A = this chain, B = another copy of it.
Amino acid sequence: MQPNDPIKRSRRNSGAVTVRDVAKIAGVAPITVSRAINHPETVSAELLRRVHDAVARTGYVPNLMAGSLSSSKSKLIAAVIPSTVFSVFTETIESLNNALFDAGYQLMLGQSQYLASREEALLGAVIGRRPDGIFLTGIMPPSNARKRLLASGIPVVETWDLTPTPIDMLIGFSHHKIGLAVADYFISKGYQRFASVRASDERADRRMSAFVERAAQQGLPPVQVINVGSERTLTRGRQALAEILENTTRVDAVFCSSDLLALGVLTEARARNIRIPDGLAVMGFGGVPIIENMIPALSTVQINSGKIGALAAEYLIARAEGRVVQMPTVDVGFSIHERDST
């Protein structure tokens, strides 16, 4: 701060207040300042006070990058989410972030677009920051990226799915079982002619394959499938029902790969005066809060998104702090919430 030390201040100095400045003012060594801030219990009351004073006077904010570099602990967790369906994972990310913050960790967000080209860059960016943990939405198939992740040695938690070969930790549920359960549920309610409206992603794929498979097993007519690709919109859901009804009016139950698509189907049904659930049953997936008090309230396969985030935070933090995670693979399950639409 004072211009009386022309030798010390090198040209590289960024100008910000550093431990050294604080130490000088408090009349202690830099390491004492570090201790006072990070392990106050190891410093005497007197020095603690002097350091706090100096910090307040200078407005010192520790440079966490420097600290991380030195301690090999970044207090950073990276989350990779597919951007196009951000909304489904909102609750997970929110609970993840809250739990992390409370433990003094920061969240770094990366959006994979499921593009291999981007994935390499994203991974470099993620690993390059040396996060203490990585949160993955979905599971990572064998690939170069997977190898790099493995090689990095950073704790990883894969989520929203199950696999016998996780990279590291795993918090998810079985998409296959969901497909079976929904088919069984429809059958138990007396529905017979199924259709499905689904987006293009691997997990929806597994739900829907199981759904179709179970229908076939039970001797039901073939399931009509509308794949909406990446258009996960309400509008596209409406169109999808229109398409289904163009082919045949003999459909009485539709399983959608997301609540939003299901809302679209419901909307189109209303536009056509189809009675819900007598004329048509509709099942969504995800369990976003909005659907439970609409008219008609949408039945859905409910996922405990918040729990996934909270558990992931717990696991990642445990591992970051060198503790062992007892149950590194967890099936959080799902539940079918029956409401007006079925």
Contact = CB atoms under 8 A, between A and B. Distances in A.
Contact of A108 (B104, B106, B118, B238): B106
A290 B293 CA distance: 16
Contact of A234 (B68, B234, B293): B293
Interface in A117-160: 118, 121-122, 124-125, 127-130, 148, 151-152
A69 B72 contact: no
A101 interface: yes
A308 to B, nearest CB: 16
A98 interface: yes
Interface string A92-105: 01100110010010
Stoichiometry, as copies per complex, reads: 2
A124 B38 CA distance: 13
Interface of A: 14, 59, 61-66, 68-69, 72, 74, 76, 83, 86-87, 90, 93-94, 97-98, 101, 104, 106-111, 118, 121-122, 124-125, 127-130, 148, 151-152, 233-235, 238, 260, 263-264, 267, 270-271, 289-290, 292-295
Given A64-B129, A64-B130, 16 more contacts: A61-B124, A61-B152, A65-B68, A65-B69, A86-B94, A101-B118, A106-B110, A106-B129, A107-B109, A234-B290, A234-B294, A263-B290, A267-B293, A267-B295, A270-B295, A271-B295
